[in-house]
Structures are given as structure tokens and as C-alpha cells.
């Protein structure tokens, strides 16, 4: 099948509220943002997405043109009055260690649910995902992946009806910032530092190495790294890196562990408190088992506290191969919400 051929747009029955479908353009970002915000008020009322994050997702600098194109891998559904009712994307990731993944994302406006739009949209996404997976030359098994909050029963029922099955659970954890543990010392030859621009590329490589054995993760490209680092939510002052001396180049220290933080004041009213969010924490494989993750988290907790925030939050895979969940629980984090990933292998 030619690389640029595609399955067209979702089907619209005579009884569908969708008057017409078309692919998305960057000029649609404000309308897509408004739709996502309306859907989130029902599906995940404690989460928010910014306009710049929607724009970044459509630009998708971590995907080559053969793996995500607006013209073939997005769908917008409009009502009779021209309002945006539905939105979807399909993205083909670079091959991982075990499989190559096509990820599905999208939503239907809450006012227009229960009318077959989501079912039609998901069918189109799966067809397009299979088409993209057939273009991959890695020889690895294909996996189609999507997810939702565990409380979104209608979403999960839709996925099951389409033949997807639950594969992974993600836990949102919270810790109040009172009674913090003492800062910890590091092994000899290592030092803790606040994130600095000069460390950025070394941090990217360390995060990629740390997550190579984690489910449904792909390497972060330099372009995506730069784009996400420029998002307003990223907090360099609350992010930390662990540097280790190298025998060959002692003046240029190696990044062996890193923790990245976000500060999102727009979410505080939704949660009823101020908080810092730990968006990523990773230790390179050959530096594990030395307590670096715990030391980084404690540093972040103190950094959040110094900014007079109320709590810290993070998300973790419930079967994370590094045993992270048990570590977070020992450090005082408690479960507040769960999401579930549904998959179909092909």
C-alpha cells in the first residue's frame, strides 16, 4: 500500500449529528482546544490542557512525516451549525524494543455523545492505525493503544465493544508537603544540581536510557525535547539532575539521573490547592540501586515546599519495572485517581 494512501474520513450515517468531516489544520487549534476543554470538564474535571499544548500535539515534532501527517492522520467532525463536535488523531511511534505502537487520541463533545459519533470515530482510527502499522519496516508486532480515566465508563465500554482490552493501569499519586524527609546524601563522586540549560541534552539522553525498558514509551527526539522544555509549565528551578564524574573526562560530568517538574497554576483551582507536578523521573540503567530516585524526589518535595505549594503530584505505571510505586508509597504518596490503557495487538 502506498505510504501516503489513507482510509479517508469516518463514516457519517443519516442519523449522525456530523454534517461533514475533514482533516485538521493548525488554524483549527483554538476550536480543538475549546472542544478538549469542554470534554475534560466531564471526563477529567481536575485536568486541564493549554492552547500551546494542543498546538504542540498537532505539530508533533517527535514524529516523522511518514508517521503523523495532519492531512491523513487527523479527523474533525462538524455539526449542522458548523461547530466542532469531534476530533481525533492517529500517530505511529518509532519502533520500541518490543513492538511498534500506533496511539489514538480524540474526543466527542459531551452534548453530542450517545449518538454513534465516538463509535464511528474509533472505527476510523483503528483502520488508519492498521494502515500506518503496515508501513512500518521494523518487523516488530504492532500495538494500537488508547486510554481514559477509570471513571469514564462510557469510554471504556466503547473500547471493549471495539475489541480492545485493558493492558496497563496508571496511578495518580499525591503527597502533602508537610513533614518532609531530610535531604539525602549521594554516593561518592555524584552531585545534585538544579536543572540548567547546559545539561539539557545530557538529561534528554539519560531520560531516554532510563525509560527504554518501560511499557509504551519511545525515545524523545531533540526537537520534541526542545519544544516541551519551552512550555510555560516546565519548572527548571524545581527540576533536578544527578551528575557523576567520569574517569575519562572529569570536568564534563555525566547525567545519571533526572527529575523534571511542572508548575501549572491553572490546575490549582480544579484541585482546590496549589501543587507541583513531577512529570518525569529516571535513572540510567547502570546507576540504579543507589537510592538516586528517592534522593531526587525528596529534593523536589523541598523545592515545591520552598515555593509555598500545598502538595506534590505525579503519575506512575502500576507495574513499573523499576519498582517506583513502592518507593513513592514509602515517601508518603497516596493514590488519588487511576487511568487505564486499552490495546489491540495486530
Segment 28-76, tens digit of pLDDT? 999 999 999 999 999 999 988 999 999 999 986 555 666 899 999 999 9
The answer to whether 199 and 257 have CB atoms below 8 angstroms apart is no
Domains of the chain, each with CATH number or no CATH = 20-163 (3.40.630.30), 172-338 (3.40.630.30)
Give the residue-averaged pLDDT of 280-301.
Answer: 95
pLDDT band at 1 (very low <50, low <70, confident <90, very high): very low
Contacts of 340 (CB under 8 A, 6+ apart): 147, 148, 150, 156, 166, 168, 169, 170
pLDDT the model gives residue 63:
59
Q: What percent of the chain has pLDDT over 90?
A: 76
What does the radius of gyration of the chain's CA atoms come to, in whole angstroms? 21
pLDDT the model gives residue 257:
97
Give the residue-averaged pLDDT of 258-270.
Answer: 95
More confident residue, 237 or 321: 237
- Lowest-confidence region among 105-109, 230-234, 336-340: 230-234
pLDDT band at 5 (very low <50, low <70, confident <90, very high): very low
More confident residue, 212 or 119: 119
Q: What is the DSSP annotation of 88-131?
A: EEEEEPPP-SS-EEEEEEEEE-GGGTTSSHHHHHHHHHHHHHHH
Contacts of 215 (CB under 8 A, 6+ apart): 168, 317, 319
- Lowest-confidence region among 30-44, 206-220, 296-310: 206-220
Residue 82 has pLDDT above 80, yes or no: yes
Q: What is the DSSP annotation of 39-81?
A: HHHHH-TT----HHHHHHHHH-TTS-TTT--HHHHEEEEE-TT
From CA 212, how far away is CA 219, in angstroms rounded? 8
pLDDT the model gives residue 4:
38
Give the residue-averaged pLDDT of 84-97.
Answer: 91
From CA 346, how far away is CA 344, in angstroms rounded? 7
DSSP 226: H
Q: H/E element holding 254?
A: strand 254-263
Which cell goes with 283?
535513572
Beta sheet of 20-22, edge-to-edge order: 20-22, 74-78, 84-92, 100-108, 142-149, 334-345, 165-176, 311-317, 275-283, 254-263, 234-244, 190-194
Residue 102 has pLDDT above 70, yes or no: yes
- Name the pTM for this structure: 0.87
The residue whose grid cell reads 498537532 is 58
Amino acid at each position: 500500500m502506498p505510504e501516503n494512501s489513507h482510509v479517508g474520513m469516518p463514516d457519517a450515517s443519516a442519523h449522525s449529528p456530523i454534517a461533514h468531516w475533514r482533516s485538521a489544520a493548525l488554524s483549527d487549534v483554538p476550536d480543538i482546544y475549546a472542544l478538549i476543554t469542554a470534554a475534560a470538564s466531564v471526563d477529567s474535571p481536575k485536568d486541564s490542557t493549554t492552547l500551546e499544548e494542543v498546538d504542540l500535539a498537532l505539530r508533533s515534532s517527535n514524529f516523522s512525516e511518514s508517521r503523523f501527517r495532519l492531512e491523513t492522520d487527523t479527523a474533525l467532525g462538524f455539526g449542522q451549525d458548523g461547530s466542532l463536535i469531534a476530533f481525533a488523531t492517529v500517530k505511529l511511534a518509532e519502533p520500541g524494543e518490543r513492538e511498534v505502537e500506533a496511539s489514538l487520541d480524540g474526543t466527542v463533545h459531551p452534548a453530542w455523545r450517545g449518538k454513534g459519533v465516538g463509535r464511528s470515530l474509533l472505527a476510523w482510527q483503528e483502520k488508519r492505525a492498521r494502515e500506518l502499522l503496515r508501513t512500518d519496516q521494523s518487523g516488530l508486532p504492532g500495538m494500537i493503544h488508547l486510554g481514559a480515566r477509570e471513571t469514564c465508563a462510557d469510554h471504556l465500554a466503547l473500547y471493549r465493544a471495539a475489541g480492545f482490552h485493558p493492558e496497563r493501569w496508571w496511578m495518580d499519586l499525591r503527597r502533602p508537603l508537610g513533614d518532609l524527609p531530610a535531604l539525602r546524601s549521594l554516593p561518592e563522586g555524584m552531585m545534585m544540581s538544579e536543572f540548567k540549560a547546559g545539561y539539557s541534552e545530557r538529561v534528554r539522553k539519560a531520560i531516554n536510557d532510563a525509560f527504554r525498558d518501560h511499557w509504551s514509551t519511545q525515545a524523545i527526539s531533540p526537537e520534541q525535547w526542545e519544544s516541551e522544555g519551552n512550555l510555560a509549565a516546565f519548572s527548571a528551578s524545581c527540576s533536578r539532575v544527578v551528575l557523576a564524574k567520569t574517569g575519562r573526562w572529569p570536568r564534563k560530568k555525566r547525567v545519571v539521573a533526572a527529575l523534571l517538574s511542572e508548575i501549572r497554576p491553572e490546575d490549582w483551582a480544579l484541585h482546590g490547592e496549589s501543587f507541583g507536578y513531577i512529570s518525569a523521573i529516571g535513572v540510567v540503567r547502570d546507576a540504579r540501586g543507589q537510592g538516586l530516585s528517592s534522593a531526587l524526589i525528596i529534593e523536589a518535595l523541598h523545592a515545591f515546599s520552598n515555593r509555598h505549594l500545598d502538595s506534590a503530584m505525579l503519575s506512575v505505571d502500576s507495574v513499573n519495572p523499576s519498582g517506583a510505586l513502592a518507593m513513592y508509597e514509602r515517601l508518603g504518596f497516596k493514590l488519588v485517581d487511576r487511568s487505564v490503557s486499552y490495546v489491540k495487538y495486530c
